[in-house]
Amino acid sequence: MPSYPLRALVLRKTKLGEADLILTLLAADGRIVRAVAKGMRKPTSRFAGRLEPGCVADLMLNTGRNLEVISDARSVNLHPGLRHDYERSTAASVVVDVLDKIALEGQAEERLFGLADATLSAIEHTERTERVHTVLTAFLLKAMAMHGYRPHLDSCVSCARDAAAGRGGGFSLEAGGVLCPACGIPSGPGGVARLSKRGNEMLGWMLRSRMAEIAETDWPKGTVEECFDLIRAFVGYHLSARIKALDFYADGAGS
Ligand SMILES: [Zn+2]
């Protein structure tokens, strides 16, 4: 069997037979790879503890008939701080769940791996747990942008007028951008969310900023909540799969 090395982030574990697991991995080149970890559910497994969701590892893979088989694993980053408190661990679960849904099998998007690793590090290391909410909001926004849904924030997405857009009003979930007062009523039907001027500024800043910087910055709680709610609705509108970890997070730690 030919073998090759792969650096990857573990997204999901699925039981296989009595003692094995199938791991869903986000490879460093952005591909989704599924690989068997033989015997990983036995307490004596050398893979145990190294290949949990959220861990980054250097793997040696053998090409199997249907799935790759992991022959060796070396930890690169276990992100241990993610498992220490509820806020951080539930936020990390959202990151891996979203990646699992949007990184289509075999379709490479290299930037996703870097975004994922930077986000998990930011969630792990930010000093104040309130900032975890900001980091997660920025992750969802950036992941959607990489997935082809970069929000249009500078001018009205419907009529291109820029005078009134971005001063607080509507955001079309369907069109993925701000609406001027003439084009959208924030409370109206048809997938329109409210977005304040400050919220618009925050979304623009998140798109331009690096995760490490986002993890060090405090924004008003109300603005973070507004942006989180909007991006959560945006994700729900455009991804066909339900992100269960996001619902769980929003019902608990995020509110
Ligand atoms: Zn307009």
Q: What are 44-99's pLDDT values in tens digits?
A: 888 888 899 999 999 999 998 889 999 999 999 999 888 878 999 999 999 999 99
Ligand 1 geometric centre to CA of 229 (Å): 23
pLDDT of residue 45: 87
Instruction: Based on the fold, state whether residues 38 and 147 are members of the same structural domain.
Output: no
pLDDT of residue 145: 94
Ligand 1 geometric centre to CA of 39 (Å): 58
Instruction: Based on the fold, state whether residues 220 and 120 are members of the same structural domain.
Output: yes
pLDDT-based confidence at 150, cuts 50/70/90?
A: very high
Instruction: Based on the fold, state whether residues 49 and 130 are members of the same structural domain.
Output: no
Number of residues in the chain? 255
pLDDT-based confidence at 255, cuts 50/70/90?
A: very low
Residue 166, pLDDT above cutoff 90: no
Residue 11, pLDDT above cutoff 90: yes
Instruction: Based on the fold, state whether residues 15 and 120 are members of the same structural domain.
Output: no
Ligand 1 geometric centre to CA of 180 (Å): 4
Q: How many domains does the chain have?
A: 2
- Domain extent for 166: 82-251
Instruction: Based on the fold, state whether residues 19 and 35 are members of the same structural domain.
Output: yes
Residue 192, pLDDT above cutoff 70: yes
Highest mean pLDDT among 132-136, 195-199, 248-252: 132-136
Residue 22, pLDDT above cutoff 70: yes
Distance separating alpha carbons of residues 147 and 115, to the nearest angstrom: 12
pLDDT of residue 170: 87
Residue 206 Cα to chain centre, angstroms: 14
Largest pairwise CA distance in the chain: 65
Ligand 1 geometric centre to CA of 158 (Å): 5
Task: Provide mean pLDDT across the span 192-203.
Answer: 92
Instruction: Based on the fold, state whether residues 115 and 144 are members of the same structural domain.
Output: yes
Ligand 1 geometric centre to CA of 162 (Å): 8
pLDDT of residue 2: 84
Ligand 1 geometric centre to CA of 153 (Å): 12
Ligand 1 geometric centre to CA of 192 (Å): 13
Ligand 1 geometric centre to CA of 165 (Å): 7
Ligand 1 geometric centre to CA of 230 (Å): 19
Q: What mean pLDDT is reported for the chain? A: 89
Task: Provide mean pLDDT across the span 6-31.
Answer: 94
Q: Which of 21, 49, 77 is the last residue of a domain?
A: 77
pLDDT of residue 185: 64
Ligand 1 geometric centre to CA of 148 (Å): 22
User: Taking phi first (over 0 means left), then psi (-120 to 50 degrees means alpha), and beta for anything else, what does residue 157 get?
Assistant: alpha
Q: Angle 247-248-254 (CA atoms, 0-180°, nearest 5)?
A: 90
Q: Angle 215-225-95 (CA atoms, 0-180°, nearest 5)?
A: 55
Q: Which of 29, 58, 77 is the last residue of a domain?
A: 77
